[in-house]
Amino acid sequence: MTVHEETIHQLTIPTPFPVGPVHSYLISSDTLTLVDTGPLTIEGKTSLVSQLDTLGYRIDDIEQVILTHHHPDHVGLAGLFKSAVLIGHRFLRPWLRKEEKFFQKYKMFFDEFYHAHGFPRPVIDKVLQSGQKYMDLIEKTDLDVIVSHGDNVPGLKGWRVLEVPGHAQNHIMIVRTEDHTAIGADVLLGSISSNALLEAPMEEGKERPKTLLQYRETLLLVHDLNLNILMPGHGEMIKNVNELIGQRLQEHITRANVIKNLLADNRWSAHEISFQLFKEKHRKQAELTFSETFGHLDLLVELGDISVTKEDGLFLFHK
Ligand SMILES: [Zn+2]
């Protein structure tokens, strides 16, 4: 089947998150393929089912579902597709399976990490609890097929898988090489910068991934694809992909410099820096603002602009 006989439909599904609705994509091709599903909410399910119905399909008609990363707005309803093949990255598996041991280790990592970076105990408890609630918006299921960087997408001729870590450790995107078209989920968004979220190491004995540094490498990789169009997980279709990537990379440096200036005369914990930067927002959404801050601290350390010292069990950042 040629590119021209393939149709991509965008579905837009409501989410309970500040980011707003999420896009799924239905590719009608050799294999009827859905990319991402929307969250496990009544509104999400109703919306997905009715949009598929409008296109003439039932849930059971979908032959495979590609899951871009573990966030509930993207994979929450994957369990609905009982007769489809579920495809994703190997690091997506413990999230979908809801492996208790994995979650315990994950929580333990963040408990220690937040503590060592100056979070007060009540804030740590609140952040860890909200993480658990967030995961309730995913129905327990499992992957049938694991894909890796460079693989052909099973059942979709001409499409390739790329691993694009940064926003999530298990983030993949798919690219139709012939016409430089990609479905990118949260790898690049038009109106907001995609947060390089902090995550615990996925493998025993590994270090914490420096997610903003990873994300910047991912952006360079996407830049090299010279995409004509990138279909995102949220917001408008992106046609000026490389221009936007240049802008995002520059914004990271600009934000990092704000932190660098804050640290000209101060020795602060990452929690304090995050509070100075975000004030009220840091109180309300500490895990998001902290990821943002931490990413830029990693960047400044990498550039040799700041240092970090451990004093009495607390990490302090300084000139
Ligand atoms: Zn996401």
pLDDT in tens, 18-53: 899 999 999 999 899 999 999 999 999 999 999 999
Strand, coil or helix: 33? strand
Which tens digits make up the pLDDT trace of 292-314?
A: 999 999 999 999 999 999 999 99
Give me ligand 1 centre to Cα 168, in Å: 7
pLDDT higher than threshold 60 for residue 3: no
Tell me the average pLDDT across 103-117. Answer: 95
Numbered ranges of CATH 3.60.15.10 in the chain: 3-97+138-239
Secondary structure element (H or E) that encloses residue 182, with its range: strand 181-185
Amino acid at site 105 = K
Give me ligand 1 centre to Cα 175, in Å: 18
Q: Which of 59, 58, 48, 62 is nearest to 15 (CA)?
A: 48
Q: Are 297 and 211 in contact (CB under 8 A)?
A: no
Instruction: Return the structure tokens found at 188.
Output: 């690049």
Give me ligand 1 centre to Cα 198, in Å: 12
DSSP state of 272: H
Give me ligand 1 centre to Cα 311, in Å: 34
Strand, coil or helix: 264? coil
Give me ligand 1 centre to Cα 186, in Å: 5
pLDDT higher than threshold 70 for residue 72: yes
Give me ligand 1 centre to Cα 270, in Å: 23
Tell me the average pLDDT across 78-88. Answer: 97
Give me ligand 1 centre to Cα 308, in Å: 29
Which tens digits make up the pLDDT trace of 185-235?
A: 999 999 999 899 999 999 988 999 999 999 999 999 999 999 999 999 999
Amino acid at site 190 = G
Give me ligand 1 centre to Cα 69, in Å: 7
Tell me the average pLDDT across 118-124. Answer: 94
Give me ligand 1 centre to Cα 312, in Å: 35
Which tens digits make up the pLDDT trace of 247-260?
A: 999 999 999 999 99
Tell me the average pLDDT across 141-155. Answer: 97
Give me ligand 1 centre to Cα 16, in Å: 13
pTM over 0.85: yes
- The Cα–Cα gap between 56 and 116 comes to 54
Give me ligand 1 centre to Cα 120, in Å: 27
Outline where the chain has alpha helix (H). 42-54, 72-75, 93-97, 100-116, 121-135, 211-224, 241-262, 270-278, 280-284, 286-303
Confidence of residue 2 (pLDDT cuts 50, 70, 90): very low
Q: Which of 180, 175, 179 is nearest to 150 (CA)?
A: 175
- Number of residues that make up the chain: 319
Give me ligand 1 centre to Cα 39, in Å: 11
Give me ligand 1 centre to Cα 234, in Å: 9
- The Cα–Cα gap between 59 and 61 comes to 5
- The Cα–Cα gap between 126 and 301 comes to 29
Half-sphere exposure of 19 (CA within 13 A, CB side): 26
Tell me the average pLDDT across 164-169. Answer: 97
CA 182 vs CA 48, 89, 237: distances in Å: 21, 17, 11
Give me ligand 1 centre to Cα 72, in Å: 8
Work out the burial of residue 237: count CB atoms within 10 Å of its CB; fewer than 13 is exposed, 13-18 middle, 19 or more buried: exposed
Give me ligand 1 centre to Cα 194, in Å: 8
Give me ligand 1 centre to Cα 95, in Å: 13
Give me ligand 1 centre to Cα 84, in Å: 22
Phi, psi of 92 (to 5 degrees): -80, -25
Task: Give the CATH fold of the 3-97+138-239 domain.
Answer: Metallo-beta-lactamase; Chain A (3.60.15)
The 8 Å CB, 24+ separation contacts for 122-129 are: 123/271, 123/286, 126/286, 127/286, 127/287
Looking only at the bridges linking them, the beta strands covering 314-318 and 172-176 are unpaired
CA 253 vs CA 34, 77, 193, 257, 279: distances in Å: 36, 37, 13, 6, 21
Secondary structure element (H or E) that encloses residue 309, with its range: strand 307-311
Give me ligand 1 centre to Cα 265, in Å: 36
pLDDT higher than threshold 80 for residue 243: yes
- The Cα–Cα gap between 59 and 32 comes to 11
pLDDT > 90 fraction of the chain, expressed in percent and rounded: 90
Give me ligand 1 centre to Cα 51, in Å: 22
Q: Are 31 and 155 in contact (CB under 8 A)?
A: yes
Give me ligand 1 centre to Cα 267, in Å: 32
pLDDT higher than threshold 80 for residue 1: no
